Structure 1
Amino acid sequence: MEEKLAFTEGAEQPIAMNPKKFALWLFIVSVVMIFAALTSAFIVRQAEGNWLDYELPQILWITSGIILVSSFTMHWAYTAARKDQLQQLKLALVVTSIFGLAFLVGQWYSWVALVDRDVYFVGNPAGSFLYVLTGLHAVHLISGVIFLIIVLISSFRYKIHSKRMNTMEMCVTYWHFLGGLWLYLFMFLLLNH
């Protein structure tokens, strides 16, 4: 009996993670896999030939700057929440949401610029890939803006503060992931268009 007791006393505690955070990380990994598959398919299809050469719209540089700045405002929101600076938290979340919406508007104008250059979703696969990559990212960014708005509403209800950071941490993680994903896609398109 003493041997069994000694064995259980030495057992390590399992690593614990909030189930919602774990689900978020699983979702992020699945999104990474989707975009890895799409960018791999892009490279393989481009190597086959019959690839349309086109100039990327200049507005993509602006939207890349917007998403980069939004990561700083999101960090500002996170820091404000940790310090219980609730007015700054609300302001930073509003600013980040505006940047997210501005990014989406910029993406729309980049599609308008592509149409003006005769790059369409149908026709040459080069255009199809560009629309799919940017459109799929935009769908995920829409979900990020919705998440931001949910966190903003929670902050007005005083549900986000230094003692309740779980939702805020998840929102920050997802937003930074979306920003990093866009920068990867933009660099990929710059190098491979």
Structure 2
Amino acid sequence: MEGQLKITRESKGILNMHPQKFAMWLFLITVSMIFAAYTSAYIVRQGQGSWIPFDLPVTFLYSTGIIILSSIFMQLAYYATTKNKKLQVRFYIILTFIAGIAFLFMQLKGYGNLVDMNLHFSDPNNVSGSFIYVITGVHGFHLISALIVLLVILLDTFKVENIKEKLVRLEIGTTYWHFLGGLWIFLYLFLQHY
């Protein structure tokens, strides 16, 4: 009986995760599986013909730099939250938001470069273009959702006196933002080399 109680207490410690964080991790696993499917399909389809290799426009490299910079800003916002520095939190969240918008702008500019290279979303003679638009577009959609999360977090900074009360929400937002940044770096390297 005593041994069973000990096991139960230890198990509680292991499973002691905030429900919103747990839901976020499940969501990130799902998103990872989606992109694993896309990149696998990309590799398989590449070997089946109607595939013209291409080089990614340099614009996508610039957007990679922007997303890395935005992750630095987001991490600084998180650190400022742990020290209850509301103005710094707001400042870094706004910088992260601006960098996220800049990233999306560079992606759209990259699409223009792809069109200039004669890579279109729907081209039966070259399906490689379709894949690049779908993969980067789905990533862009997730980044837009992360920008909405940033706006919610920013509004929270005006509603509470002690910003540490919203630390869990900011942790979730920071993890999601870093995940999307890391995912983009993976996608960029993948698309650049395949």
TM-score tier by shorter-chain length is over 0.9
1:49 corresponds in structure 2 to 49
CA contact (8 A) 2:77 2:92 kept: yes
2:174 to 158, 165, 172: 172
Q: TM-score, normalised by structure 2?
A: 0.93
Amino acid at match of 2:64: S
1:10 to 6, 13, 17: 6
2:106 corresponds in structure 1 to 106
CA shift at 1:138, angstroms? Answer: 0.2
In 2, the alpha carbon distance for the partners of 1:34 and 1:107 equals 20
Q: 1:161 to 1:69 in 2, by over 3 A?
A: same
Identity %: 41
CA contact (8 A) 2:114 2:120 kept: yes
In 2, the alpha carbon distance for the partners of 1:150 and 1:191 equals 37
SS at match of 1:66: helix
Cα deviations by residue, 1:112-170 (Å, 9 ceiling, x for unpaired): 11111110011121000000000000000000101001101101212762343110000
Cα deviations by residue, 1:28-56 (Å, 9 ceiling, x for unpaired): 00000000011011001111222112221
Q: TM-score, normalised by structure 1?
A: 0.93
SS at match of 1:162: helix
Quick check: which one's helix share is greater? 2
Number of aligned residue pairs: 188
In 2, the alpha carbon distance for the partners of 1:169 and 1:75 equals 9
- Relative to structure 2, which stretch is displaced further, 24-33 or 47-56? 47-56
- Relative to structure 2, which stretch is displaced further, 43-52 or 31-40? 43-52
Q: 1:159 to 1:132 in 2, by over 3 A?
A: farther
1:10-159 matches, within 5 Å, as 10-13=6-9, 14=12, 15-123=15-123, 124-158=126-160
CA contact (8 A) 1:160 1:168 kept: no
- Relative to structure 2, which stretch is displaced further, 45-54 or 159-168? 159-168
Structure 1 unpaired stretches of 5+:
none
CA-based RMSD: 1.3
Q: 1:132 to 1:160 in 2, by over 3 A?
A: farther
* Off by >4 Å, runs of 4+ in structure 1: none
In 1, the alpha carbon distance for the partners of 2:59 and 2:185 equals 14
